[in-house]
Homo-oligomer: A and B are copies of this chain.
Amino acid sequence: MRINNKNYQTIWVKDKDPKTIQIIDQRFLPFEFKTADLKTHKDVFIAIKDMWLRGAPLIGVAGAYGMYLGLLEINSEKNVQKEISKIASYLKSARPTAVNLQFAVDLVTDQIKNKKSLEEKVKTAFNTANKLRNKEIENCQKIGEYGFPIIEKLSKAKKGETVNILTHCNAGWLACIDYGTATAPIYLAHQTGIKLHVWVDETRPRNQGSRLTAFELGQEGIPHTVIADNTGGLLMQKGMVDMVIVGSDRTSANGDVANKIGTYLKALAAHDNNIPFYVALPLSTIDWNIENGVTQIPIEKRDENEVKYVEGWDGKKISQVLVMPENSSALNYGFDITPAKYVTALITEKGVCKATKKELAKLKK
């Protein structure tokens, strides 16, 4: 998608230097646009852990490239398997809730295990990461195509009046490689001329909504308005929201959705106001081993300073301000669980389905 009218993706192999992976360093957005070079698996670990990049699909692809870079660092054929295991565990520990990261790292591990030489393993890891990257792009395109008719139908029901869509956090192309998950149907609808407007939850504590989603929508010329996370309920009460669409970091086999903290509250409000609540996700986000998301999905606890301090642009640079008493403490959970019963439907690369174990299982095939 576009930044300053130039096309970008979030992660790519450096031109003429395939031993370097380049990413958009999202920490500076929307105030500054920077890219970063990743040359080792530790670079990838840091980029994931410190959120230079974030978003389930992107984290997965980065993890796959992390495996590739890690293999490049192994300089002896001895203990290769042990080294690989170490690299894999290390990379997975960067974001424990993100099932895509586990998935992608395991995928590479699996693909390389029968390759005999280190060289072959490196080559296979590289190809696997590239394929995964392309697959994620394709998945987002398909999610866009499957989600599009939902917006189109709302637009027709409103006789072409603006369709108001609320989203939480950033499940846009900056969370993926391109197009996004929750945003893919929005971009497609916008391109076909459907009138729409997006309510963007700022998404404290890290403000991925106000910083990233607002940025990417703005760059694509899509009308949008940032709101405090507290506001969505009122807008729904006032009839100012036609649908909600969010992403997912991990979805259980029964359709419970672990997504950015606060998603659950919007699902409750949508339910209370008879507003459809959609979750857009690649199937790789589904954890088939988990039957009950509410009790079984582990919730990442992050640094309390993300709550204590707010980061923003002070006019000259990015800086932080303290927003509470220095001596008070804060608690910072990254995700919550939206029970399947509050999800109108899941939009996947294989089609739209009800958030039930039975319907999801059909897509698994």
Q: Name A residues whose Cβ lies closer than 8 Å to a Cβ of B.
A: 30-31, 199-200, 202-205, 207, 210-211, 214-215, 217-218, 224-235, 237-238, 260-262, 264-266, 268-269, 272, 294, 299, 307-315, 319-325, 327-333, 335-337
Contacts and interface: CB of A to CB of B under 8 A. Distances in A.
A230 B211 contact: no
Contact of A228 (B204, B227, B238): B204
Given A204-B204, A228-B205, A233-B336, A321 B314 contact: yes
Given A234-B337, A268-B272, A321 B328 contact: no
A323 B202 contact: yes
Contacts of A225: 328-331
Nearest to A335: B234
A231 B325 contact: no
- Tally of this chain's copies: 2
Interface of A is mostly: mixed
A215 B323 CA distance: 11
Given A225-B328, A227-B330, 12 more contacts: A30-B324, A204-B204, A210-B323, A218-B325, A226-B329, A232-B265, A234-B333, A234-B336, A237-B337, A265-B265, A310-B310, A310-B321
B307 A265 contact: no
Nearest to A232: B265
Contacts of A324: 30, 202, 207, 210-211, 214-215, 226
Contacts of A224: 328
A59 B19 CA distance: 64
A199 B329 CA distance: 10
Contacts of A309: 312
